[in-house]
Structure 1
Amino acid sequence: MDIAEMVDLRPEDTYHFWNSGYNIVFEKIYNFRVPTIAAVSGYALAGGFDLSISCDFRIASETAIFGQLEVDVNLSPGIDRLWRLIGLSRAKYLGLTCERINAQEAYRIGLVDKVVRVNELLKEAQALGVKFASKPRQAIEKVKQSYINVINMNHKTAINYETLLLCHLFDTEERKRIMQKFIRK
């Protein structure tokens, strides 16, 4: 939704719109079974910024610009995913100052995973996708979900969860086949 469309939005409509629109889309991307990759070229501001941080990985072109501009128009930016990604202090800085940062700065603070030339962006994103697709799907799906699940666990619970996941993956014929193939190399 563009800012021009938000001007006449009532508070009760805002809550409904965000919880039945933006939040659902961003949550589906965040919780998608397999890794998601944002290929960012140009501006990723406000909603575009939130979309990019809903993905597991972000590859940016040298021309990418990132920013949370919501405070400048008396709104609240997406907070939870960002602080988990880059830390609380940096997230507060970006959200409260509304500064735009370039791809190199985004890489330096851990917001993006890689910076490439504009003409290499899609190739790099696709190559990363192919890398994930070449790995055992069950392991990719379960391990990705584990990263999401352990965020809110205490250390002891998280370690136990990881051990149970390992046992689950260990109890598959695919694991045995892949390990035997690895040994033969």
Structure 2
Amino acid sequence: MTATLELDRPKPGVAVITFANPPRNQMSADALVAFHDILDELEKDLQVRCLVITGTGSSWCAGADLREERGQTPEQLKAHADSRASFGTLIGRLETIRFPVIAAINGYTIGGGMELALACDIRVGCEDAVFVCAGVNVGLIASWYRLPRAIGLGPAKHMLLTGDKFDADWALRNGLITALYGASSLLDESVKLADRIATRAPLSVEATKECSAQAFELSSESAAALHTEKFLIMAASADHREAVASFFEKRPATFLRK
């Protein structure tokens, strides 16, 4: 935990990371490293089965702190591109981390913040959420890979090429977020969603996240082979037997990750 990041565990299996660097919740290099440190802690704890990321004030996240990048040469930027102080490294890690990640978007989501949100498995928002693909506004390029996959090429180009603001209703209509809550209930509803995920069979949840991330890249033959591989592993697991038993016995399941 740092002055700009807060970690909470509101329910068994659920963790919440809050951006706490108002007013824009930008991420300095030190904050990015600290975020990785928190993820290290959560990933080692096999009881953690879902993560919610939210923000304070009027922003979710405005991406990296451009004041730090302003004086750096292209060579310097390239040198730390793969380090824990790089925004791109954090984005890639969230996509592939063991447990599902929910973005509970409470306000402005700008530039690198958009990339971070797109790396989350599920995005929900409140009526105060605003989305900006700011690459063209600051002479950079961002979100062109993940955004079209999330909402389709036409709406994505509208966001990417204009750098304009898009509100929560637009985001909901176009699939950028999948649920819209009141500002006061956003975090509670997001934790409820995370708790639902955390109480499913964990090996199955993790395999489903891993496989669905590859859905747009695999041929039908490769997808079928991957499905068979993972399905047979799940079918042989004690957690599968427990899930079936709890269904017929009408009781909550107790999963052991095996």
TM-score band, normalised by shorter chain: over 0.9
1:7 is aligned to 2:74: no
State the identity %: 27
Deviates more, 1:150-159 or 1:40-49: 150-159
- TM-score by length of structure 1 reads 0.93
In structure 1, the partner of 2:19 is none
Give 5+ residue unaligned stretches, structure 2.
1-63, 251-258
Aligned residue runs from structure 1 range 85-164, under 5 A: 85-164=150-229
Q: RCO higher in 1 or 2 (8 Å CA, sep ≥ 6)?
A: 1
Q: Greater share of strand residues, 1 or 2?
A: 2
Distance 2:135 2:210 in 1: 30
- Seen in structure 2, the aligned counterparts of structure 1 residues 18 and 111 have a Cα distance that, compared at 3 Å, is farther
Distance 2:164 2:241 in 1: 51
In structure 2, the partner of 1:30 is 95
1:170 is aligned to 2:235: yes
In structure 2, the partner of 1:19 is 82
Shift, 1:71, TM fit = 0.6
Deviation string 1:149-170 (CA, Å, 9 cap, x unpaired) is 3331111211221122111100
Shift, 1:177, TM fit = 2.5
- TM-score by length of structure 2 reads 0.68
Distance 2:228 2:182 in 1: 40
Shift, 1:32, TM fit = 1.4
In structure 2, the partner of 1:179 is 244
**Aligned AA for 2:234?**
L
Deviation string 1:10-33 (CA, Å, 9 cap, x unpaired) is 112222344321111111111111
Distance 1:69 1:17 in 2: 22
Distance 2:245 2:229 in 1: 22
Q: Greater share of helix residues, 1 or 2?
A: 1
Distance 2:224 2:242 in 1: 26
Aligned residue runs from structure 1 range 38-53, under 5 A: 38-53=103-118
Deviates more, 1:36-45 or 1:148-157: 148-157
- The runs of at least 4 aligned residues of structure 1 exceeding 6 Å deviation read none
How many residues align? The count is 185
Give 5+ residue unaligned stretches, structure 1.
none
